[in-house]
């Protein structure tokens, strides 16, 4: 079906082998590519650039196709647009994009019919001369006169925080380096609470900065247990600041008065191993969402002046089939974010009156609360989308029980009626039913001829919900099926679904994905020679594991910044995320966990066999999955894989985990990914309109 895809390409670069012995738990193994970790070695940059040059050479025959895909994706985007305006203290806050400009412009205007726009932060101006720019924090002071914001200019997710006077437009001398996500004002508008990183880039300290002060900032809290990360949040009521500590199994909260610039954090409830909880505030009480008493969480309340456990009372009991994903507190309402049978829902519980669920229009969808900045309000904002419905922001009046569409993502040249979405189930190795969400052209023939892209993640209890992607349309228009495997390791079916795909049950994640692929083939959605798979980060681990286990099942793989050198990373506590992830993968200091991780670590289980076509990406400044993981993986695969299937590595030399920061550059990266898929399935000259539709589908 496909041509000799490497006939005109140069030979791939070959990384030198430098034997490095590693002895752990009485076993010694040799890692010939360990040297790639030494970023100061000039040979590494030379090697990564050589891989990029090779990838460009192999993909040179798709330049016109990449341009076509880019143009198609751009054609589905309204380039000059704005987000749904968010009300806060008499203003409407929003961001807008301008055709031809890479970044957003953050603005506000008075919440009046004739309110004039004020530009708060134009990221395009800030980005001039920078190859990368990411806005990490954006916090307006309580009096709406100052803006605290934080920027990353390398992709390493280490931010510098600054303050802008919104009345004069002047950026103040205050500059705070080494900050992370989370930046909050005290209520007097004179102090900032922020988080800093340790040597392993773990957020571990909370500080209070006095605006305009040249003296040292005040350390509020330091977390010494390396399994825990620290964050700061302000209650919607603005009465409290919360310092939240969390590992992958345990959490703890400290709180203090946001109006008291001298306040010290108070421990709410001491951490208990394998118990997670968080706090919300309403009136004279705290709401506690906790796994104590049930893995899917229950909700309790306690008086603010009596926070001890003996005063906790149950507000919403634990339910085996329903997971409580979050709690939003307003002056007169509590909104519970729930998930049942893989579908999210919003339960509104008025302080006075009966609870009810906000209805949704489609059987399969994605739903999430969005910016709800005001406390004393009847309005609740949420975003709704599905595989066929563009992102839609609704404002729901909780008193009148009425939804109002505030903004729907405009998608030019898109007709939803041409597409259909389904949810089917695959039977995994142990009999468990694994949901699969699908989207395709309506009336597509199911005869095993359709190219299909199967996506998976399955880690950290992160749900992979079916949402809309305008970029994906260029595949769907070419007759592709797009599928999401809702595999164990995520929390798509509740907290137990996560538990069943972590630690010594991690292999369930891989088996579920393989089962999903086999089911798509058995039901004739596709065939193994037309099935591509994609995953990133921990989803890249998934890619590496399943192609080691069943390389014959897949035709092509896109592995984005893949976490594939798992055993080496899991045994190096100096790296970001290693220690905190002991509760996700297992503590490799114990031999039984070490052996289990070793049994599936993609880098350590490469065999001399034929692998699918592969396109692998990396970010040189990536703090989550170090660039050397995909680089080492590709280098080792080159020496062991059989056959002539493509193996490409593309490293973004100016970015980190998320790839390019500019919106047009991001589209170019997607265009390369999709061009690779079309190349290896032989669709490089296929028109977007030439799809495999049953004749009856065109009938009226």
Residues contacting residue 359 through CB under 8 Å, at least 6 positions apart: none
What is the number of structural domains in the chain?
A: 1
Give residue-wise pLDDT tens across range 496-533. Answer: 999 999 999 999 999 999 999 999 999 999 999 999 99
Q: What's the pLDDT at 687?
A: 54
CB atoms within 10 A of CB 179: 24
Instruction: Look up the domain containing 604 and give its range.
Output: 21-74+420-696
Do 148 and 161 form a contact (C-beta atoms < 8 A)?
A: yes
Q: Is residue 604 part of a domain?
A: yes
Tokens standing for 174? 């205050």
Residues contacting residue 8 through CB under 8 Å, at least 6 positions apart: 61
Q: What's the pLDDT at 695?
A: 34
Longest dimension (CA), the chain: 75
Do 437 and 689 form a contact (C-beta atoms < 8 A)?
A: no
Q: Is residue 250 part of a domain?
A: no
Mean predicted confidence (pLDDT) in 423-427: 97
Tokens standing for 75? 């054609």
Phi, then psi, of 318 in degrees rounded to 5: -70, 140
Phi, then psi, of 47 in degrees rounded to 5: -65, -45
CB atoms within 10 A of CB 643: 10
| Cα Rg of the chain (Å, integer) | 26
Higher per-residue confidence, 12 vs 690 = 12
Give residue-wise pLDDT tens across range 10-31. Answer: 799 999 999 999 999 999 999 9
Do 462 and 490 form a contact (C-beta atoms < 8 A)?
A: yes
**Strand 333-340 and strand 322-329: pairing?**
antiparallel
Tokens standing for 132? 């990368």
Q: Is residue 492 part of a domain?
A: yes
Q: What's the pLDDT at 81?
A: 98
| Model confidence at 694: pLDDT above 50 | no
| Model confidence at 2: pLDDT above 80 | no
Domain of 36: which CATH number? 3.40.50.1820
Per DSSP, 36 falls in state: G
Q: Is residue 576 part of a domain?
A: yes
Tokens 């695959």 sit on residue = 426
Report the distance separating Cα 545 and Cα 633, nearest Å: 12
Catalytic residues: 537, 622, 657
Q: Is residue 638 part of a domain?
A: yes
Mean predicted confidence (pLDDT) in 667-679: 98
Mean predicted confidence (pLDDT) in 389-408: 97
Residues contacting residue 125 through CB under 8 Å, at least 6 positions apart: none
Instruction: Note the pTM of the prediction, 2 decimals.
Output: 0.95
Q: What percent of the chain has pLDDT over 90?
A: 94
Q: What's the pLDDT at 10?
A: 79
Per residue, the 3-state secondary structure of 112-126, as one string, reads CCCCCCEEEEEHHHH
Phi, then psi, of 127 in degrees rounded to 5: -80, -10
Per DSSP, 12 falls in state: P
Q: Residue 244 is inside which H or E element, if any? A: strand 240-246
Confidence band of 280 (pLDDT split at 50, 70, 90): very high
Q: Is residue 554 part of a domain?
A: yes
Q: Is 294 exposed, middle or buried (0-12, 13-18, 19+ CB in 10 A)?
A: middle
Confidence band of 192 (pLDDT split at 50, 70, 90): very high
Q: Is residue 87 part of a domain?
A: no
Q: Is residue 652 part of a domain?
A: yes
């Amino acid at each position: 079906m496909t041509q000799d895809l490497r006939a005109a390409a140069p030979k791939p670069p070959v990384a030198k082998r430098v034997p490095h012995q590693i002895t752990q738990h009485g076993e010694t193994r040799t890692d010939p590519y360990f040297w790639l970790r030494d970023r100061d070695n000039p040979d590494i940059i030379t090697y990564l650039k050589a891989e990029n040059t090779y990838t460009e050479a192999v993909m040179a025959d798709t330049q016109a196709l990449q341009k076509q895909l880019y143009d198609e994706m751009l054609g589905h985007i309204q380039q000059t647009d704005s987000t749904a305006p968010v009300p806060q203290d008499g203003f409407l806050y929003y961001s807008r994009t301008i055709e031809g400009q890479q970044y957003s412009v953050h603005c506000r205007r008075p919440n009046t019919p004739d309110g004039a726009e004020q530009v708060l932060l134009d990221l395009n101006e800030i980005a001039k001369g920078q190859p990368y720019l990411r806005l990490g924090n954006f916090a307006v002071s309580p009096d709406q006169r100052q803006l605290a914001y934080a920027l990353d200019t390398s992709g390493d997710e280490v931010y510098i925080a600054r303050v802008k006077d919104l009345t004069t437009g002047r950026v103040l001398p205050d500059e705070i380096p080494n900050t992370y996500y989370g930046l909050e004002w005290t209520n007097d508008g004179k102090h900032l609470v922020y988080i800093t990183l340790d040597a392993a880039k773990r957020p571990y300290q909370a500080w209070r900065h006095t605006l305009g002060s040249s003296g040292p900032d005040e350390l509020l809290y330091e977390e010494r247990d390396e399994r825990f990360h620290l964050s700061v949040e302000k209650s919607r009521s603005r009465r409290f600041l919360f310092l939240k500590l969390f590992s992958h199994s345990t959490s703890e909260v400290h709180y203090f008065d946001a109006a008291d610039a001298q306040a010290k954090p108070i421990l709410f409830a001491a951490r208990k191993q394998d118990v997670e909880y968080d706090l919300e505030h309403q009136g004279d009480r705290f709401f506690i969402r906790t796994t104590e008493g049930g893995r899917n969480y229950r909700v309790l309340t306690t008086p603010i002046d009596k926070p001890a456990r003996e005063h906790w009372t149950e507000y919403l009991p634990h339910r085996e089939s329903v997971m409580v994903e979050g709690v939003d507190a307003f002056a007169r309402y509590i909104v519970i974010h729930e998930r049942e049978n893989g579908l999210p829902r919003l339960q509104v519980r008025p302080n006075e009156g009966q609870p009810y669920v906000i209805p949704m229009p489609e059987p399969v969808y994605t739903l999430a609360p969005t910016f709800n900045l005001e406390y004393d309000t009847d309005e609740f904002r949420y975003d709704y989308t599905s595989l066929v419905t563009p992102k839609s922001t609704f404002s729901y009046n909780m008193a009148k029980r009425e939804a109002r569409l505030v903004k729907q993502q405009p998608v030019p040249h898109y007709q939803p009626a041409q597409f259909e979405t389904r949810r089917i189930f695959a039977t995994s190795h142990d009999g468990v039913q694994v949901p699969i969400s699908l989207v395709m052209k309506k009336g597509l023939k199911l005869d095993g001829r359709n190219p299909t892209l199967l996506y998976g993640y399955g880690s950290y209890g992160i749900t992979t919900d079916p949402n809309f992607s305008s970029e994906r349309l260029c595949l769907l228009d070419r007759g592709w099926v797009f599928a999401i495997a809702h595999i164990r390791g995520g929390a798509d079916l509740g907290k137990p679904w996560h538990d069943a795909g972590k630690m010594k049950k991690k292999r369930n994640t891989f088996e579920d994905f393989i089962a999903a692929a086999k089911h798509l083939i058995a039901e004739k959605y596709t065939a193994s020679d037309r099935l591509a798979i994609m995953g990133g980060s921990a989803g890249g681990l998934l890619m590496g594991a399943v192609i080691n286990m069943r390389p014959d099942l897949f035709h092509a793989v896109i592995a984005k910044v893949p976490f594939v050198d798992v055993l080496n990373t899991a045994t190096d506590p100096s790296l970001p995320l290693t220690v905190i992830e002991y509760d996700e993968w297992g503590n490799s200091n114990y031999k039984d966990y070490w052996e289990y991780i070793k049994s599936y670590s993609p880098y350590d289980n490469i065999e001399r066999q034929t692998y699918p076509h592969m396109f692998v990406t990396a970010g040189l400044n990536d703090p989550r999955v170090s660039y050397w993981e995909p680089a080492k993986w590709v280098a080792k695969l080159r020496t062991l894989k059989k056959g002539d299937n493509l193996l490409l590595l593309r490293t973004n030399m100016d970015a980190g985990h998320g790839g390019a920061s500019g919106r047009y550059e991001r589209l170019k990266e997607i265009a390369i990914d999709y061009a690779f898929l079309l190349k290896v399935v032989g669709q490089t000259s296929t028109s977007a309109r030439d799809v495999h539709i049953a004749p009856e589908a065109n009938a009226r």
